[in-house]
């Protein structure tokens, strides 16, 4: 059993000293300490680290300019997000174009093979059957679409 105590008087080199100590007590024998660990140096180190972190906090708020233009220029721009809308009338729209379930599947396959994939934002009416929505989300995940956003937008008037 470990026991931490403060101001323990102990002897390690013939002299006595007060400090913070953790000792391991034997449970079987008459509760003598089997070993003692002096925690006083550890407490000092922790106080020094605390002081360093307190001094470093104001420095973290200073803005530092980072230029990573060569990487960003080589990467290029990410294409705009794709809007997939599911309506309560069993209609689906891919960027305002009416599509069938097979077309959505084919487009998800093509989207999953792109290197710079746009995010797929799925909008659904309140009354859409959950199994339809679930099938679309699982299909997009299975085809390797990296970013799938389930959006809640009550303004789907243009799609009805």
Give the pLDDT of residue 92: 92
Residue 49 tokens, joined? 């680290």
Task: Decide: 82 and 120 in contact? Cβ < 8 Å.
Answer: yes
Give the pLDDT of residue 40: 77
Give the pLDDT of residue 159: 60
Q: Where are the alpha helices (DSSP H) in the chain?
A: 40-60, 69-75, 101-112, 130-142
Going from the first residue of the chain to its last (160 residues), give the mean pLDDT of each consecutive group of 10, the final group possibly shorter: 47 54 56 66 88 77 66 68 89 92 94 89 86 92 90 64
Give the pLDDT of residue 115: 84
Give the pLDDT of residue 79: 84
What CA–CA distances, in Å, run from 1 to 23, 29, 54, 61? 9, 12, 35, 45
Give the pLDDT of residue 56: 76
Q: Does CATH number 3.30.420 belong to domain 79-159? A: yes
**pTM for the predicted model, two decimal places:** 0.52
Residue ranges, CATH 3.30.420, the chain: 79-159
Helices and strands, counts by H and E, the chain: 4, 8
């Amino acid at each position: 059993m470990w026991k931490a105590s403060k101001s323990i008087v102990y002897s390690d080199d013939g002299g006595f000293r007060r400090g913070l100590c953790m000792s391991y007590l034997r449970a079987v024998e008459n509760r003598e300490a089997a070993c003692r660990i002096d925690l006083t140096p550890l407490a000092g180190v922790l106080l020094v680290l605390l002081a360093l972190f307190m001094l470093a906090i104001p420095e973290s708020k200073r803005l530092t300019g980072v230029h990573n233009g060569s990487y960003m220029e080589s990467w290029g721009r990410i294409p705009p997000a794709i809007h997939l809308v599911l309506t309560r009338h069993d209609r689906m729209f891919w960027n305002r174009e009416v599509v069938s379930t097979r077309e959505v599947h084919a487009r998800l396959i093509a989207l999953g093979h792109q290197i710079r994939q746009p995010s797929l934002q799925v909008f659904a009416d309140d009354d859409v059957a959950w199994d339809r929505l679930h099938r679309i989300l699982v299909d997009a995940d299975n085809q390797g679409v990296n970013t799938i956003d389930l959006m809640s937008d009550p303004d789907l008037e243009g799609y009805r």
